[in-house]
């Protein structure tokens, strides 16, 4: 997968993309991530990329020209006119694991990070093919949102995670939250690891993981259970626990 990110603050990406799983994926050529400085497409001697809003109002608005020209140059270079162009915006569809999987199935992604008061509306209307928000709050810029999207997408790409940290049981992947995890020591300050996890019985452990996932989802995010793929016995377990809770 090739990911191009357009930003006015390219240095913000150096830390998060130079560590851990994303760096490993880049080193192994599973992904390529290119950060483009939008100021390179700014106009005039001062490389202007923003201007005052028509009609007045506070703050500056990012201009259309640098965003259109940068995106077109990136598409031409990669000979990929149909690459999805995703605008990070608090007004977009709210990002989740399903959208991460949808994006992970694509070969190319172009992400546009806004800044200041926002972006000229014509970018949304005529350049972006998708708009994504990482939650119902307003960030200073789209850079942190782009990092969140890239991280969640990249960990879903085949071969990126070793089997030791497989994503299949991750919260939200199967529609359930993940079961509780423990590591050594067996006893810490008198708190014991559940006995079943020490039993060596793989079938019992798998059953415990599944039950804990369901119960945890029931207590923290019950609305997720409506769409989860559950057996009739598991639905019964939920009803029984719900009745118990009263």
Ligand X SMILES: C[S@@+](CC[C@H](N)C(=O)[O-])C[C@H]1O[C@@H](n2cnc3c(N)ncnc32)[C@H](O)[C@@H]1O
Active-site entry in 40, 51, 69, 117: 117
Alpha helices, H only, 46-120: 64-77, 97-104
Q: Among residues 128 and 176, whose Cβ is nearest to ligand X?
A: 128
Q: Among residues 12 and 145, whose Cβ is nearest to ligand X?
A: 145
Q: Which residues pair with 87 in a beta bridge?
A: 112, 131
Rounded-to-integer distance, Cα 160 and Cα 31, Å: 9
- Is 40 designated active site? no
Q: Give residues 198-227 in contact with ligand X (rule: CB under 6 A).
A: none
In the set 142, 176, 208, 213, which binds ligand X (CB under 6 A)? 142
CB of 73 vs ligand X, minimal distance in Å: 20
- Is 107 designated active site? no
Binding of ligand X by 38 (CB under 6 A): no
Find, among 217, 122, 238, the residue nearest to 174 by Cα: 217
How many residues touch ligand X (CB under 6 A)? 20
- Is 10 designated active site? no
Residue pair 205/199 in contact (Cβ under 8 Å)? The answer is yes
Q: Among residues 41 and 179, whose Cβ is nearest to ligand X?
A: 41
Q: Give residues 86-115 in contact with ligand X (rule: CB under 6 A).
A: 88-91, 113-115
Q: Among residues 88 and 154, whose Cβ is nearest to ligand X?
A: 88
Rounded-to-integer distance, Cα 177 and Cα 42, Å: 45
Rounded-to-integer distance, Cα 175 and Cα 227, Å: 7
Count the alpha carbons within 13 Å of 56 in the hemisphere toward its beta carbon: 0
Which range binds ligand X by CB under 6 A, 23-31, 43-51, 133-141, 230-238? 133-141
Which range binds ligand X by CB under 6 A, 8-16, 36-44, 116-124, 190-198? 116-124
Q: What is the DSSP letter of 72?
A: H
Q: Among residues 96 and 201, whose Cβ is nearest to ligand X?
A: 96
Binding of ligand X by 60 (CB under 6 A): no
CA 225 to the chain's CA centroid: 22
User: How distant, in Å, are the alpha carbons of 106, 112, 228 from that of 85?
Assistant: 12, 7, 31
* 202 token code pair: 């793989």
- Is 155 designated active site? yes
Residue pair 186/194 in contact (Cβ under 8 Å)? The answer is no
CB of 131 vs ligand X, minimal distance in Å: 9
The residues carrying an active-site annotation are 90, 117, 155, 170
* Contacts with ligand X, residue ranges (CB under 6 A): 88-91, 113-115, 117-119, 133-135, 137-142, 145
């Amino acid at each position: 997968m090739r990911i191009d990110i357009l930003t006015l603050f390219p240095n913000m990406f150096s830390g998060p993309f130079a560590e851990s799983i994303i760096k490993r994926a880049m080193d192994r050529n599973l992904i390529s991530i290119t950060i483009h400085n939008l100021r390179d497409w700014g106009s005039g001697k001062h490389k202007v990329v923003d201007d005052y809003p028509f009609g007045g109002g506070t703050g500056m608005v990012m201009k259309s020209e640098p965003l259109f020209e940068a995106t077109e140059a990136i598409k031409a270079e990669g000979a990929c006119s149909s690459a999805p162009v995703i605008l990070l915006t608090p007004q977009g569809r709210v990002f989740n694991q399903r959208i991460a999987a949808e994006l992970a199935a694509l070969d190319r992604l172009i992400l546009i990070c806004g800044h200041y008061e926002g972006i000229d509306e014509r970018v949304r209307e005529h350049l972006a093919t998708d708009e994504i928000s990482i939650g119902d709050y307003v960030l200073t810029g789209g850079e942190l949102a782009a990092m969140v999207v890239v991280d969640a997408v990249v960990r879903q790409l085949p071969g990126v995670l070793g089997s030791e940290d497989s994503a299949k049981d991750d919260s939200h992947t199967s529609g359930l939250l993940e079961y509780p995890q423990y590591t050594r020591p067996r006893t810490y300050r008198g708190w014991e690891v559940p006995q079943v996890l020490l039993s060596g019985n793989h079938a019992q452990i798998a059953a415990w993981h599944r039950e804990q996932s369901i119960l945890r989802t029931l207590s923290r995010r019950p609305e997720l259970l409506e769409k989860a793929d559950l057996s009739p016995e598991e639905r019964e377990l939920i009803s029984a626990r719900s009745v118990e809770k009263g």
